[in-house]
Structure 1
Amino acid sequence: MNVSQETDEFILDAISSQASDIHFCPFGDNVIVYYRIHGQRIQKQTLPLSKYQPLLSYLKFTSGMDIGEILVPQNGVSFLKQNETSYALRLSTLPIQSTESLAIRILPQRQVPKLNELFLYPNQLKHIKSWMNHRSGLILFTGPTGSGKTTTLYALLQSLLAERSVQTITLEDPIENQLKDILQVQVNEKAGIDYNAGLKAALRHDPDILMVGEIRDASTAQFAIRAAQTGHLVLSSLHAKDAFGTLSRMLEMGVTKSDLQQTLVAVASQQLLPLLHDDLGTLPHSRAAVLELLDNEHLKNAFKGFSPYEDESYSSFHRLRRKAYALGFVSKQII
């Protein structure tokens, strides 16, 4: 079996295991392979380093990375098709000792779920849809890696487009899924298309809504604020522990408090809960999202330094999980 076939076997096994990520972690002469399945990191097998190196080189080559460069982190994208479903593979390397670790995010290129299939509580769906009536400002979706932020953004945009005609443009790095009736721009700094260049081009297309794939650093945070200040509605995602902590994360990235107060419409922080069952049959997946929602008076008070968690009426993650347990959706371990 050649390296191409071995690589495909790895990826296809991960797909059949419903893994969202594969981690190759070198330690000494061996490489431990982990799958992330429904949010849990599970050890799958151990490879000798001698078998891992050609696999790593092949994956770097097919995803557009520099095979000869092992001293700096790299990112790449490749594609795979299996049983009529296409998968985008987002790869990332990290230099360690004399080799590199490798992480692969598996992104099925299938139809985005409907918005009402994603959330455990329908009233939260209605709440976030009401934010889309704003003509301008910034709406942030936050949570850890794998919590479904991008899927929620995609589903929200598609739900909106089904109700009214709006010119929608996304700036993504990378594009995780192909969407109908939405102009998607692949940010590619090597080709000279960074977020700022993408924004200038997007604004010439008369957009109603801009989506910035993910705020990862200070420059992207400033970019999202500037985009919101152009008089457009901007949606983006960010890694943050909870809704209240999102404000601190943005401030840590160099956004001024006054700019954030003027542009931020709302924050939705997202967690995925593993479901026991769903007698109503409304949730076809094994996990469903719950959201901490920060807007209106709670948002104003948060800027004054008052935590919403001190308000007993606020639907925090803790209260949402307790409610899910009381309704029989999740096990007691989730509380």
Structure 2
Amino acid sequence: MSSAITLSRNILTAAIEQHASDIHFYPFNTETDIFFRINGKRVFYKKISTNHYQLLLTYYKFSSGMDIGETRKPQNGTIQHHDTSMIYSLRFSTLPTNQLESLAVRVLPQKQTHSLNELFLFPSQYKQIKKWVKRRSGIILITGPTGSGKTTTLYSLVHSLLQEDSYQTISLEDPIEKEMQDIIQVQINEKAGITYQTGLKAALRHDPDILMVGEIRDEYTAKFAFEAALTGHLVMSTLHAKNSIGTIHRLRDLDIKEIDLQHTLIAVASIQLVPIQINKKVMRRAAILEILDGEILDYVLKGGDVKKIKNYHSFQHLRKKAYAYGFISKETLFELQVETE
């Protein structure tokens, strides 16, 4: 077990130093490939023997409370990793393959809270979002694909609010990705009977000013979130959708009534991360946002074609703007265009 601990420490140290958001293990018969995801790109790190990988997998399963003997079903677990200057939450996910199990690890810094202006590429979009959180009731949706920064943005929105005033804030998350002060964070645990549905009902009895729902996953949760917003609460949540218009389609598919969309939905911000270059070197990723709010949102909800609105900025428009300002290269512009087609 000591060799597994040493191997784990070396891999995690390398991942943290390279600012990796994820670690992927690909096991084969005799060797296992390890990849890091850095600024959205999958980068090869090293090979280890599959025997060493099996020891490492057993160690992670044991440490995170997974069933060591179960190899036929996907499992997940979480542990804390203490680095010299930071605490990280490591979220493990196993997936059975033909003979072995693959492993993915999400690396989540626990003390790193980004301010809103650090997240977004364009200051005007940051200022626009700041206006939304002044509302005392309604629902704000942050949407995009997996890994696009939805949850990070949600945390930053709540953090921004709490810096300005004292609000009774309750979050429902599966899993809790980052511990935050001054928030009642509820871990969804379906085995223990704490589902999003039961958690939402219980949270409303605690008189919240702000309700943060980690993710709207089904029709019941969507309807309950909108009902909570209608009864005078500010609700913030995430939703998987390709873009801002796709978010409206998703909400309609979840059977949200048109009148509720018109009276309750404050705004939709669909996120795409772009790699920012300085001196031809990728330094970090920043978010560009397709935004629906105010008159534009009303126009779209009433059936209007967003392409006819001059001041609506699509991802395509924002990527071209980022290129014109020198934030991204021509190659990156082309790659992002291909990825989203």
TM-score (norm 1): 0.89
Instruction: Give 1:63 deviation, angstroms.
Output: 1.1
May I ask how many residue pairs the two structures share in their alignment? 329
CA distance in 2, matches of 1:14, 1:77: 17
1:299 is matched with 297
The answer on whether the counterparts of 1:244 and 1:307 sit within 8 Å (CA) in structure 2 is: no
The answer on whether the counterparts of 1:141 and 1:269 sit within 8 Å (CA) in structure 2 is: yes
Alignment CA distance shift 1:50-1:328 (3 Å) = same
| CA-to-aligned-CA distance 1:218-277 (integer Å, 9 cap, x gap) | 454344334334431110112222111112233344545554444322100112222223
1:94 is matched with 95
Give runs of aligned pairs for residues 121-270 of structure 1, distance below 5 A.
121-257=122-258, 259-270=260-271
Opposite residue 76 of structure 1, the aligned amino acid is G
Instruction: Give 1:22 deviation, angstroms.
Output: 0.7
The percent identity for this pair of structures is: 55
CA distance in 1, matches of 2:165, 2:11: 43
The answer on whether the counterparts of 1:81 and 1:87 sit within 8 Å (CA) in structure 2 is: yes
Alignment CA distance shift 1:222-1:331 (3 Å) = same
**Of the candidates 307, 315, 327, which is equivalent to residue 329 of structure 1?**
327
The answer on whether the counterparts of 2:4 and 2:52 sit within 8 Å (CA) in structure 1 is: no
Instruction: Give 1:112 deviation, angstroms.
Output: 0.5
Alignment CA distance shift 1:225-1:74 (3 Å) = farther
CA distance in 1, matches of 2:227, 2:101: 37
5+ long unaligned stretches in structure 2: 334-341
Opposite residue 91 of structure 2, the aligned amino acid is R
Alignment CA distance shift 1:314-1:87 (3 Å) = same
1:282 is matched with none
Opposite residue 311 of structure 1, the aligned amino acid is I
The answer on whether the counterparts of 2:72 and 2:96 sit within 8 Å (CA) in structure 1 is: yes
Instruction: Give 1:26 deviation, angstroms.
Output: 3.1
Counterpart secondary structure, 2:198 = helix
TM-score (norm 2): 0.88
Greater alpha carbon shift after TM alignment, 301-310 vs 83-92: 301-310
The answer on whether the counterparts of 1:321 and 1:334 sit within 8 Å (CA) in structure 2 is: no
Alignment CA distance shift 1:76-1:127 (3 Å) = same
The answer on whether the counterparts of 1:70 and 1:95 sit within 8 Å (CA) in structure 2 is: yes
CA distance in 1, matches of 2:321, 2:7: 46
Instruction: Give 1:88 deviation, angstroms.
Output: 0.1
Instruction: Give 1:212 deviation, angstroms.
Output: 0.8
Greater alpha carbon shift after TM alignment, 128-137 vs 253-262: 253-262
1:112 is matched with 113
Alignment CA distance shift 1:304-1:241 (3 Å) = same
Alignment CA distance shift 1:4-1:255 (3 Å) = farther
**Of the candidates 306, 309, 312, which is equivalent to residue 311 of structure 1?**
309
5+ long unaligned stretches in structure 1: 279-284
| CA-to-aligned-CA distance 1:99-149 (integer Å, 9 cap, x gap) | 222111000112302222222222211211211233322211012222222
Greater alpha carbon shift after TM alignment, 269-278 vs 207-216: 269-278
Give runs of aligned pairs for residues 4-19 of structure 1, distance below 5 A.
4-19=5-20
2:336 is matched with none
Counterpart secondary structure, 2:157 = helix
Greater alpha carbon shift after TM alignment, 225-234 vs 3-12: 225-234
CA distance in 2, matches of 1:134, 1:293: 17
CA distance in 2, matches of 1:264, 1:330: 33
Opposite residue 126 of structure 1, the aligned amino acid is K
Q: How large is the Cα RMSD of the aligned pairs?
A: 2.2
Opposite residue 61 of structure 1, the aligned amino acid is F
1:281 is matched with none
Opposite residue 240 of structure 1, the aligned amino acid is A
Counterpart secondary structure, 2:215 = strand
Greater alpha carbon shift after TM alignment, 222-231 vs 28-37: 222-231
Counterpart secondary structure, 1:236 = strand
2:59 is matched with 58
Alignment CA distance shift 1:63-1:218 (3 Å) = farther
Opposite residue 201 of structure 1, the aligned amino acid is A
CA distance in 2, matches of 1:253, 1:52: 42
Counterpart secondary structure, 2:214 = strand
Opposite residue 46 of structure 2, the aligned amino acid is Q
Instruction: Give 1:29 deviation, angstroms.
Output: 4.6
Opposite residue 312 of structure 2, the aligned amino acid is Y
